[in-house]
Every structure is written in structure tokens, then in C-alpha cells.
Amino acid sequence: MTLPRIAVDAMGGDEGVRVMVSGAALARRDHERFKFLLVGDRPKIERALEAHPNMREASEILHCEDVVTGDEKPTQALRRAKSTSMGLAINAVKKGDAGAAISAGNTGALMAMSKLALRTMPGIDRPALAALMPTLGDNDVIMLDLGANTECSAANLVQFAVMGAAYARIVTGRERPRVRLLNIGTEETKGTGELQDAAQALRDATGLALDFEGFVEADRINRGEVDVVVTDGFSGNIALKAIEGAARFVTDLLKEAFRSSTRSKIGFLISRPATELLRHHLDPNNHNGAVFLGLNGVVVKSHGSATAAGVANAVTVAARLLEEDLTQRITADLGELGHKRLSRTGVAS
């Protein structure tokens, strides 16, 4: 299958061109059909390509020197959408010059530019940021929204559930992903009015390719009991940062424990295969590539601090979503809401 090329904002992220080009090259090493539009400073990109001959025939360079900075406000970045590497990468998707865009730059700016250029899909009020997280089960868990929308109506949450389930069917292979709403308790009486209305709408909806299983508390997100966790961007971002912080705390604590004595160091050598497995499982680079769901095009956000391996994973995510035609899946699923139409206030009619 021939895939549309992927536009890469080569200037975004902590290390910019070197890591972004290296990551794309690493992804293409395993998938020779990948082709790229590398957006950024041409001399810097050409120097980076010297170390990756496999990228030469697969890449075109779109020269651009202007970069969106990490601390730039989205409103400021929008004014320069036509001159920055981030804006031009997204615009390539809009014009059909690329099938997907990837950036490791400013998340707020990326969302604002993507929404303005690509617009939201019919039936979607707001796009959501979705990411994969490790679990104790056989599959990763998808969580959304992770910061794009601080306040959400019940209608938004239902739409997020539909989009998340469509994404989950691609990455987990489950025909009916298990979906739950993040809440302070699993009892049906718990939570805000928006959560209660969204839960009822999902229980009542027929024809959706998902199994709605009620609520989930934050301490069960990574247990492998759920495929999609739906929440507003405020709560989702806090939950994500808490999970990432807890993972770093555990790994740092283990390092200190193993260094505390000669006996501990010997214990580390004995248990090293297990600790390496833990490190690999918790490494964010192995789950890199958050997706803006609900847009008329594929946009993937890479961690700003991602390594080449992390960028390669984000590229692979983008390619898989193109291959599986995620936007068409979401469109079809939205149509299956049938007679249950949700107003913007979240009340079923």
C-alpha cells in the first residue's frame, strides 16, 4: 500500500532537526513505504540527512527558518501560521501535499493551528488530544482529552468516547473497546452533572462499536481493565502528569535503593533483566505520539524531549492512522449515534 507522505516539523522539540530527522529515518528503516515532507531550515536538514542516506529518495524539503517557540502563546503563533515550520507542516495536510503532520513543538500552538487550518469533522464540536499509556494488560490504554479542552459538556464527552473507541479499534484490535468515564468513584451517583448526562447518553446509545462500562477512578487507569478513558482536558492533563510523575518516582527510588549498599548492588545485577523490562515499559518514548482526534486530517504531537526512537514511534502512529483511515472510522461511528442526538449542553433529545 502506498501511503501519503508525512509532513514533519523538523524545527520543533528540544533538539530540533537532528532528532526529528533521525527519528523519521529510524521509522523508515522498518517501513520503506514511508515518505516525508521535511519542513524547516534547508541547510540544517540537509546536514542531518547526510547521516541517513535511506531518507534521501524518500524526502522533500520545504524550506522555512521561522519557528514557534515553546513559550509562545497560541494566539501569537496563529499570526505566523503561514511562515513557521509548524504552520507549514499543518498547511501541507490541508492542501493535500501530505496525509499527516507531526510536530514536537508547542502543544497549544499546534492545536490552535490545526483546528484553524483543518477544522473539526462534522458532528464534532471540539477536537481532543489522545495518547496511549502502558497498562498491566495486553494492550495500552487510550486516554482523552489530555489538555485541549479544560471544560467539556456531556456532548463533548460522548464525542470523545466515540473518537477514542475508533482509535482503540485500530491500536488494540478490539471490535468493541471497553470505554469508561474518569470519575471520583465508580458508583452511578458520583460525579458532575456533565459526567452523569454523558454516562446516561452512552448507556442509551445504540449501534456504537464500543462497550460502555461506566466510571473508572484514576488509580485503575493502568490496570488493563479499560481500553479508553474519557475525561475533560483539565482532569486528563493532571491525571497524565501524576501518572508520569509516579513512574519517574518509582524508577528513581529503585536506582537509589540499588546504590545504597554492596548487597543492593549485587541484588541489582541479579534482578537486572526485570528492572530493564520495567524501564522499557515505563519509557515514554515507547508510547510517544499523541493524536488530535476530531480534525479533518491527522496531526500527531511528539514529546518535546523525545529521542529519535520516540519520534520514530510517533511517525509510525501517524502512518498507521492513515493506513487504517481513522477519520472515516470516526465519521461512520458518529453516524451510528442514530436517533440519539446530543445538544451542546449535553442533554439527550
pLDDT (tens digit per residue) in 122-152: 888 889 999 888 888 888 899 998 888 888 9
Q: Does pLDDT of 342 surpass 70?
A: no
Percent of the chain, pLDDT > 90?
40
Q: Does pLDDT of 275 surpass 70?
A: no
Q: Does pLDDT of 349 surpass 50?
A: no
- pTM for the structure as a whole: 0.84
Distances (CA, A) of 260 to 246, 248, 254: 21, 18, 10
pLDDT band at 332 (very low <50, low <70, confident <90, very high): confident
CA 88, chain centre distance (Å):
20
pLDDT (tens digit per residue) in 155-206: 999 999 999 999 999 888 888 999 999 999 999 888 899 999 999 999 988 7
Say if residues 143 and 165 touch (Cβ distance below 8 Å).
Answer: no
> In the chain, which ranges are continuous DSSP H helix?
17-30, 42-49, 74-79, 85-95, 107-118, 154-172, 193-204, 233-259, 262-282, 308-323, 326-335
> Using CA of residue 323, residue 324, residue 326, residue 332, what is the dihedral sign?
positive
pLDDT (tens digit per residue) in 204-247: 887 788 999 999 999 999 898 999 999 999 998 898 888 878 77
Q: Does pLDDT of 17 surpass 60?
A: yes
Q: What is the pLDDT at residue 285?
A: 64
Q: Does pLDDT of 250 surpass 70?
A: yes
Q: Does pLDDT of 348 surpass 50?
A: no
Q: Does pLDDT of 52 surpass 50?
A: yes
Sequence-ordered list of residues with C-beta below 8 angstroms from that of 160, at least 6 positions apart, any chain:
128, 144, 145, 152, 230, 293
Q: Does pLDDT of 30 surpass 90?
A: no
Better-scored residue on pLDDT, 342 or 15: 15
Peptide bond into 145 cis (omega under 30): yes
Range 291-316 average pLDDT? 90
What H or E segment, with its residue span, contains residue 40? Answer: strand 36-40
Most confident option among 39-43, 187-191, 345-349: 39-43
Q: Does pLDDT of 320 surpass 50?
A: yes
Q: Does pLDDT of 273 surpass 80?
A: no
> For all residues of the chain together, what is the average pLDDT?
85
Distances (CA, A) of 61 to 41, 58, 229, 284, 322: 9, 10, 38, 29, 21
Q: Which CATH class is domain 121-290+316-349?
A: alpha beta
Most confident option among 244-248, 272-276, 325-329, 341-345: 325-329
Helix, strand or coil, per DSSP, at residue 183: coil
Better-scored residue on pLDDT, 256 or 321: 321
Q: What is the pLDDT at residue 295?
A: 93
* Domains 1-118 and 121-290+316-349 fall in the same CATH topology: yes
Q: Which fold has domain 1-118?
A: Isopropylmalate Dehydrogenase (3.40.718)
Quick one: angle between helices 233-259 and 262-282, nearest 10?
A: 150
Q: What is the pLDDT at residue 300?
A: 94
How is residue 287 annotated by DSSP?
G
Say if residues 195 and 183 touch (Cβ distance below 8 Å).
Answer: yes
Q: What is the pLDDT at residue 346?
A: 44
Q: Does pLDDT of 4 surpass 90?
A: no
Q: What is the pLDDT at residue 345?
A: 40
Range 57-63 average pLDDT? 91
Q: Does pLDDT of 264 surpass 80?
A: no
pLDDT (tens digit per residue) in 81-110: 889 999 999 999 999 999 999 999 888 899
Helix, strand or coil, per DSSP, at residue 316: helix
**Phi and psi torsions of 301, nearest 5°:** -105, 120
pLDDT band at 293 (very low <50, low <70, confident <90, very high): very high
Better-scored residue on pLDDT, 156 or 274: 156
Distance CA 183, CA 295 (A): 26
Each domain of the chain, given as residue ranges in start order, spans 1-118, 121-290+316-349
